[in-house]
Amino acid sequence: MKSLIAALGMLLMLVSGSTLAADFKVLVVMSYEEDNPWVREIREGIDGVLLPAAEITYFHMNTKANRDGGPARAEEASALFKSLQPNGVITADDDAVAMFILPYLKDKTATPVMFNGVNAAAEKYGFPNAHVSGVLERAHVRESLAFIKQILPSVRKACFMTADVPPGRALRSQVDAEKATYPISTSDFYLIRDNQQLEGLGKSLNANCDLLFVDSLEGILDRNGKTQTNKDVFPLIQRIFNKPILGANRYQVEQGALAAVVKTGQEQGERSAEMLLQAMRGKSVSSLPVTQNSRGQRVINVSALERMGIMPQPSVLRGAALVRQQP
């Protein structure tokens, strides 16, 4: 009897294993490091859509820490693609498109490829393409400025700051195209290369800006030439600028910004994964148009409110996510 039960148990395990086997293999090539908070958000969105239907392999190009090493890492990703022979590919952010999709996949494979987190115009990369589509990343600048105007009605002029990297330059183009529709006037847009440049801006920032909108700070160099994370750079900005700071991402609010209407990596991951799943199930990529994020979440840093002595109207707080600054 025991042997019969054991045999039935083994059979059940075999049946269950075959039933639960993934239908697809997917390669995900991330531009940035595994512990980058934006990367973690995107992965959460991808996993939520594709698991357990797909077996997912993640590859990180680490271009925030070492942009010069990106092409070599892209070549490794190409070798992994050939080895895995996945049913579909997802890439995250512009570096993976420029360094991996364009030289190794575009017009070279029939495997469906979906990008997400792309800041530049799709046309810059020749998209849409017969086998490539995806999701553009756009900051909720207009919405964030309207939100801060509700929190602080006295603000009149916004400045902007990012690292001098492709996503930062793309944000500058977005601001230039949209600024006529913003609820407050705009002033300078600062593209930062290193701490020395940043430290020299304190007087100009405080004289010209009522608030500072920041995004894409990763990659700014410290005095030893080492690339820094957003978390490294934020305290320096707070030391030289004593007025409100807006972020584009939730983690920037958690690291010190006063508030934001944030874009989320989860939306980027979810939408690109949903598009890829449709393509792997037979829908033509050409029928899946390039799209962009649309959901915005209002987030307020309660620690910053208390530090700056700001007391918004209760109606402003309603529906917003309230966070405290992380140590």
96-103: long-range pairs with CB below 8 Å, 24+: 96/29, 96/30, 96/31, 96/61, 97/125, 98/125, 98/166, 99/61, 99/63, 99/70, 99/71, 99/73, 99/74, 100/29, 100/61, 100/74, 101/125, 101/132, 102/126, 103/74, 103/78
Q: Does 154 score more than 80 pLDDT?
A: yes
Tokens of 201: 């801006």
Residues 285 and 170 occupy one common structural domain: no
Rounded to the nearest 5 degrees, what angle is found at the Cα of 99, between the Cα atoms of 95 and 101?
A: 100
Contact 266/137 with Cβ under 8 angstroms?
no
Residues 132 and 39 occupy one common structural domain: yes
| Helix 141-151 with 166-178: angle, nearest 10 deg | 70
CATH number, domain of 148, equals 3.40.50.2300
User: 73-105, pLDDT tens digit by residue?
Assistant: 999 999 999 999 999 999 999 999 999 999 999
DSSP letters spanning 92-111: ESHHHIIIIIIIIITTT--S
Q: Can you give the pTM of this predicted structure?
A: 0.86
Residues 173 and 131 occupy one common structural domain: no
User: 100-127, pLDDT tens digit by residue?
Assistant: 999 999 999 999 999 999 999 999 999 9
Indicate the burial class of 141 (C-beta count within 10 angstroms; 0-12, 13-18, 19 or more).
Answer: buried
Per-residue pLDDT, averaged over 175-188, amounts to 96
User: 162-173, pLDDT tens digit by residue?
Assistant: 999 989 999 999
Residues 314 and 245 occupy one common structural domain: yes
Residues 242 and 196 occupy one common structural domain: yes
Residue 14: inside a domain: no
Per-residue pLDDT, averaged over 121-137, amounts to 95
Compute how many other C-beta atoms are within 10 angstroms of the C-beta atom of residue 314: 7
Residues 40 and 152 occupy one common structural domain: no
Residues 234 and 161 occupy one common structural domain: yes
Our CA dihedral for 88, 89, 90, 96, rounded to 10 degrees, sits at: -170
Residues 123 and 232 occupy one common structural domain: no
Residue 284: inside a domain: yes
Predicted local confidence at residue 49, as pLDDT: 98
Residues 96 and 145 occupy one common structural domain: no
Owning domain of residue 174: 141-262+297-323
Predicted local confidence at residue 20, as pLDDT: 52
Q: Does 133 score more than 90 pLDDT?
A: yes
Residue 10: inside a domain: no
* Structural domains counted in the chain: 2
User: 277-314, pLDDT tens digit by residue?
Assistant: 999 999 999 999 999 999 999 999 999 999 999 999 99
Q: Does 2 score more than 70 pLDDT?
A: no
Residue 191: inside a domain: yes
Residues 53 and 156 occupy one common structural domain: no
Residues 281 and 312 occupy one common structural domain: no
DSSP letters spanning 54-122: EEEEEEE--TTT-GGGHHHHHHHHHHHHHHH--SEEEEESHHHIIIIIIIIITTT--S-EEEEEE-S-G
Residue 175: inside a domain: yes
Tokens of 67: 């942009």
Q: Does 52 score more than 80 pLDDT?
A: yes
